[in-house]
Amino acid sequence: MLLAVETSCDETSVAVIHQGAVLSSVVSSQVQLHAEYGGVVPELATREHLSNLLPVTKDALNEAGISASSLDAVAATRGPGLPPALVVGWKTAQATAYVLNIPLIAVNHLEAHLYSPWSTGNPIAADYESFQPNISLIVSGGHTQLVCVRRFGEHTVLGGTLDDAAGECFDKTAKLLGLAYPGGPQIDRLAENGDPKRYEFPRPLLENQNNNFSFSGLKTSVRYYLDNHPELKVENTELPHLCASIQAAIVDVLVQKTIRAACREGLSCVTASGGVTCNRTLRSALTAACDDSGITLRLAPGTLCTDNAAMIGLLAEKKKKAGELPAEIHHDIIPSWSL
């Protein structure tokens, strides 16, 4: 039985994993706390992790129907993320490993997102046997990357955002529209009744043949457009069209660049993970584009898209089985900042 802890941003999450199956996964979200600031406040997130982590751990153990003495390993997100928030989870995991005298496994948060599409079912279980070499799109609030994964555990970052992440673009443009944080899910919901072609927002770097993204120009373009058309902010009828048009610009870039990377690398499988992968238009656009190009698509299951400890634990168990050396329990935290 492995206990996994995730505290890299604003979700306090603990999961229990056993032989590739998720026995429990508890996520305590701090979204309400940060909403009034329009984004995550690291100091508040850290304090909240401190008070939430033990009750969330107890819930995860209870839900799995086990006691701490049944654990034979503990894993935690080592980075990247908000440094003080990471410290809370990592130090708690270190202390747990020390007290129970069990190995501690460090997991890179982006690597956990990267392999999350290789789990499936309800309850979720690892499906690593079906792994295929792939191009992987990681899209979250903090990251946007295209990664080439030729073998499980061997990946190369092909490119990423030069400025804002895709989720950040959703959140920041939503804020310009007067929507609450996090804006991504709100844009997704409102766009359902909007015309994606009503407003023409830029598709940054779309014509550029490299694997990089840039979303800050799109955000600025929305800002100038709203400044020049103040009536749009009061006309609620335009809100769905604005949301649909912004979403279409983000999704077009993500989908086209991902498919192009797969073709360039000669790979016939694409995966997508991270919070933005919850977006229904992104999911359907990727599905359609992969169908058209004869590419197999693996999307992270809904519960593994936004931050969660289950994806951390599933990958940690795989690493443990593969014989990866456990982390030194007494070492201080040194977050790794890249994948």
Judge contact between 138 and 80, C-beta under 8 A. no
With CB under 5 A as the contact rule, the residue among 75, 307, 309, 313 that binds Zn ion is 307
Look at residue 184 and give the partner it binds from ligand KG4, Zn ion, none, a contact being a CB closer than 5 to 8 Å depending on partner kind.
ligand KG4
As a whole number of angstroms, the distance between CA 332 and CA 172 comes to: 34
**Smallest gap, in angstroms, from Cβ of residue 113 to Zn ion?**
5
Number of Cβ atoms within 10 Å of the Cβ of 150: 11
**Smallest gap, in angstroms, from Cβ of residue 168 to Zn ion?**
12
Q: Binders of ligand KG4 among 125-144, rule CB under 6 A?
A: 140-142
Residue 282-311 contact track with ligand KG4, rule CB under 6 A, x = bound: ------------------------xx----
**Smallest gap, in angstroms, from Cβ of residue 275 to Zn ion?**
6
Residue 3-32 contact track with ligand KG4, rule CB under 6 A, x = bound: ------x-----------------------
With CB under 5 A as the contact rule, the residue among 7, 77, 140, 271 that binds Zn ion is 140
Look at residue 141 and give the partner it binds from Zn ion, ligand KG4, none, a contact being a CB closer than 5 to 8 Å depending on partner kind.
ligand KG4
**Smallest gap, in angstroms, from Cβ of residue 166 to Zn ion?**
12
Instruction: Report which residue type is found at 94.
Output: Q
116 binds ligand KG4 (CB under 6 A): no
**Sheet harboring 21-29: ordered strands across?**
104-108, 73-79, 2-6, 11-18, 21-29, 125-126, 119-120
With CB under 6 A as the contact rule, the residue among 194, 274, 313, 335 that binds ligand KG4 is 274
**Smallest gap, in angstroms, from Cβ of residue 224 to Zn ion?**
30
Judge contact between 26 and 62, C-beta under 8 A. no
Judge contact between 48 and 9, C-beta under 8 A. no
194 binds ligand KG4 (CB under 6 A): no
Total of residues contacting Zn ion (CB under 5 A)? 2
Return the number of the residue (12 or 140) whose C-beta is nearest Zn ion.
Answer: 140
**Smallest gap, in angstroms, from Cβ of residue 156 to ligand KG4?**
21
Tell me the torsion sign for CA atoms 67, 50, 185, 337: negative
188 binds ligand KG4 (CB under 6 A): yes
Look at residue 185 and give the partner it binds from Zn ion, ligand KG4, none, a contact being a CB closer than 5 to 8 Å depending on partner kind.
ligand KG4
Judge contact between 131 and 120, C-beta under 8 A. no
Instruction: Return residues touching ligand KG4 (CB under 6 A).
Output: 9, 140-142, 167, 170-171, 182-185, 188, 274-276, 278-279, 306-307
